Amino acid sequence: MGLAVGGVLYGASDPGRINSLSCASPAFFLHHHEGKQSVTTVNLVLLGLAGTGKSASGNTILGRKHFVSKPSSNQVTTECQVAETEINDLHVRVIDTPDMFDDDTEPSVRDKHVKRCKELCESEPCVFVLVMHVSRFTDGERDILKKLENTFGTKVKEQTVILFTRGDNLEEAEMSLEDFLHSCQPGLKEIIEKCDNRCVVFENRSSGSDQVEKLMNTVSTVLKNTAKIQ
Ligand SMILES: Nc1nc2c(ncn2[C@@H]2O[C@H](COP(=O)(O)OP(=O)(O)OP(=O)(O)O)[C@@H](O)[C@H]2O)c(=O)[nH]1
Ligand SMILES: [Mg+2]
């Protein structure tokens, strides 16, 4: 049956809205359960600047070290890649991407990555996970939502969750995520508000599953909103 996180069944009254990237039949990823169509698979697309922890976060979601993640002054991930897992009966396709928003990237290279990313997302609902370093908000991130919209369409904000990495930095400062959000700078606050305050924090050095559970709860909110569940 179509079961998602937390035992919530996601019915889709307007399944075509679920995946703004898909041109395939929604029936491909939805099936019927007691008269309702339900989501069984979701693409989590990890996006963000180089070094923010996209691949490390992908590994945390997968529960295994699949994507290469390491300190580097160069981009580590240079191609879009997908790896899959099951979380609470939901089939999760984790899509790791290179930094597609670096102004120095050749347009032809960026277009190639965007094309590949969209191909990997095809036929399933997508939730974009915008990965940011909790202790660093850079100029390159100031207009990242605009770049996301230009790349994936104007509805992208409704399908985006912000994932802050390096949660230990908050713990060391004895700050909660709420404390951090209260005191963050206006540019970041604006991004968060535009994404309806959907934020989670990960510490990728820790293997605790509660952080993934919180992410998946937020993902389920996005799926519900985009599928317009009654
Ligand atoms: N302490 C700590 N380090 C992290 C965390 N997330 C990522 N890192 C480290 O940050 C470095 C970069 O992480 P990556 O996962 O490679 O970052 P990325 O966004 O995939 O980078 P690119 O592939 O170059 O775009 C690695 O050394 C990670 O171990 C975290 O939550 N806590
Ligand atoms: Mg990477």
CATH number at residue 9: 3.40.50.300
Report the range of poorest mean pLDDT among 5-9, 83-87, 89-93.
5-9
**Average of per-residue pLDDT values in the chain:** 84
The predicted pLDDT at position 103 comes to 86
Tell the residue nearest (CA) to atom 2 of ligand 1: 166
Instruction: Give yes or no for residue 97 CB within 6 A of ligand 1.
Output: no
Report how far ligand 2's centroid is from the alpha carbon of 143 (Å).
21
- Quote the domain boundaries for residue 157: 5-227
Instruction: Give yes or no for residue 55 CB within 6 A of ligand 1.
Output: yes
Mutation test of ligand 1: which of 62, 67, 68, 76 has the most ligand atoms closer than 8 Å to its C-beta? Answer: 76
Tell me: pLDDT of 229 over 80: no
Q: How far is CA 97 from CA 30, 170, 174, 211, in A?
A: 25, 26, 32, 21
The predicted pLDDT at position 124 comes to 75
Tell me: pLDDT of 62 over 80: yes
The predicted pLDDT at position 171 comes to 93
Residue, of 40 and 58, whose pLDDT is higher: 58
Instruction: Give yes or no for residue 147 CB within 6 A of ligand 1.
Output: no
Report how far ligand 1's centroid is from the alpha carbon of 11 (Å).
36
Instruction: Give yes or no for residue 203 CB within 6 A of ligand 1.
Output: yes
Q: Which residues pair with 47 in a beta bridge?
A: 130
**32 falls in which pLDDT band (50, 70, 90)?**
very low
Q: Which range is most confident: 31-45, 133-147, 215-229?
A: 133-147
Q: For residue 66, what are the contacts with CB-CB under 8 A and spacing of at least 6?
A: 58, 59, 83
Q: How many domains does the chain have?
A: 1
The predicted pLDDT at position 140 comes to 87
Return contacts of 66-72, CB within 8 angstroms, 24+ apart.
Answer: 67/96, 69/204
For 65-78, the pLDDT digits (tens) are 999 999 999 999 99
Residue, of 187 and 36, whose pLDDT is higher: 187
Mutation test of ligand 1: which of 45, 46, 55, 201 has the most ligand atoms closer than 8 Å to its C-beta? Answer: 55
Report how far ligand 2's centroid is from the alpha carbon of 52 (Å).
8
Tell me: pLDDT of 29 over 90: no
The predicted pLDDT at position 86 comes to 96
> Which atom of ligand 1 is nearest the CA belonging to 52?
19
Instruction: Give yes or no for residue 99 CB within 6 A of ligand 1.
Output: yes
**Span 35-49, average pLDDT:** 83
Judging by beta carbons within 10 Å of its beta carbon (0-12, 13-18, 19+), is residue 193 exposed, middle or buried?
A: exposed
Report how far ligand 1's centroid is from the alpha carbon of 75 (Å).
11
**Span 207-227, average pLDDT:** 91
Tell me: pLDDT of 10 over 70: no
CB 41 within 8 A of CB 125: yes
**Span 158-166, average pLDDT:** 97
The predicted pLDDT at position 207 comes to 80
Tell the residue nearest (CA) to atom 26 of ligand 1: 70
3-state secondary structure of 28: helix
The predicted pLDDT at position 38 comes to 64
Q: How far apart are CA 148 and CA 130, in angstroms?
A: 9
